[in-house]
Amino acid sequence: MDCILGHIELLPASPVRDLVIDSMYAPFSIRMGRLAVDSGFWNAIERLERLFYVTSNAAMKKFKDKHGEDFEARLVEMLGDRLFYIPDAPADVFDAVGELPAELQRHRSIRGVVILGDYATVPSRRIECTDPALLQNLHASLANPGNDDDAWWVWNDDLYGDRIGNLLPELPVSRLPIIPAMVGAPFVPSARPSALGLRASEFPFADTIYGDLLDPPGAMEQSPPLAMSGPASWDGPILDPSQLATDWVYLVLHGLSGADMELTGTSGPGWRPVAIDGSVVGGAWQAPAVAFGGVCWGALVADPIARYAGPGSTVEARAIEESFPLEFIDHGANAFVGFTALHHIPDVPVTDLILGAPIHRYFWENVTQHGLAPAEALFQAKVTFIQDLLEDADSLALAEEMKAFWSATCIGFGW
């Protein structure tokens, strides 16, 4: 596809999967004071042969500190030349990528790239969504280009899927900032999937997506529920941890950029009822779920936000208990797909999906109807989305849509 973003290679929308597994989880053990990686991780590495992995010496040190000294040696033995190390202390993300496109060219059968490491050890790319180099005339056409909580800057991992050196992805990319002791099983479409949907009261557009694709003809839970009109009738998060033990999770809520771990059902001054918080996602549940968070800053795994991560700044990885995506994959989720910046979606009923909302539908269509794994489903959703927005003449809307495009990311194994 040739467009304003350059050439993006379309992957075949095939439901064919690489594997069928007998057990969703395997036991894990405590060894030498460290958590030993369970056999589910190694089974996935062994059976998903068409993936390429990117890591660093710094990332491997963190993994070995947690999982034991033999972790790296076993990974190298299993992956061989499908494991790429970025340079030590790269000057920036472009220096980190280095010879990666050439390596991906050599591996023509590769379906996707998995980053093994957090932002501090395998850097993410800061993208200014209104940069004239990306979209001609967009930056200048906005009445106030700086009137955005992120100043239009987002974190983005797509550069690691660049196969031809054009700074754009030809391959889906996912990231495992951590490798939990209990690794979620590789994605296999379920014949009888279970689903959970929870949305803020302002986002009714999500009901149709959920009812059409995830749980026909089910309805999403709302926060706050319609029967509740104020804080006097509210006693905490609407979800119980056990409800997260499901195949598909769709959250459309309000989030903040800090590490306070609260997603709310309304925004603005006054009452902000907590819909889901750290006590819920950090509670007792396990599932190989696919989760999608249509939430502002919902996919952050590091600090600061991209706006404040300019030259000379230090990027620090978040702890598991400070990040919704990390909590999900630490509880066995295959992937958490979300956005690394403020996420623009319609807050009134709409006939046609606008702003970032079409990415929600395209992603779930790819998962539920085409059987695509989360990383591939997001990649294809973005390909479809970018074709749709080429006709958008409103500069502010186009900027908000480009922000959704660039900030969408897949945290977790994703395959």
Task: Calculate mean pLDDT across residues 30-35.
Answer: 34
pLDDT per residue as tens digits for the range 324-366: 999 999 999 999 999 999 999 988 888 788 899 999 999 999 9
Residue 370 contacts by C-beta under 8 Å, 6 or more apart in sequence? 13, 14, 15, 377, 380
Least confident of 122-136, 349-363, 366-380: 122-136
At residue 350, the pLDDT reads: 83
CATH, domain range 195-412? 3.40.50
Every domain of the chain and the residues it spans: 2-176, 195-412
pLDDT per residue as tens digits for the range 300-316: 999 999 999 998 899 99
Percent of the chain with pLDDT strictly greater than 70: 79
Q: Which residue has the tokens 């690394």?
A: 340
Do 120 and 315 touch, CB atoms closer than 8 A? yes
**DSSP line for 229-298:** -SGGG--S-S--GGGG-SSEEEEE-B--SSS--EEES--SSS---EEEEHHHHTSS-----EEEE--TTT
The amino acid occupying position 252 is V
The amino acid occupying position 363 is F
Residue 267 binned pLDDT confidence (cut-offs 50, 70, 90): low
C-alpha–C-alpha distance, residues 337 and 335, integer Å: 6
Q: How far is CA 348 from the centre of its chain?
A: 25
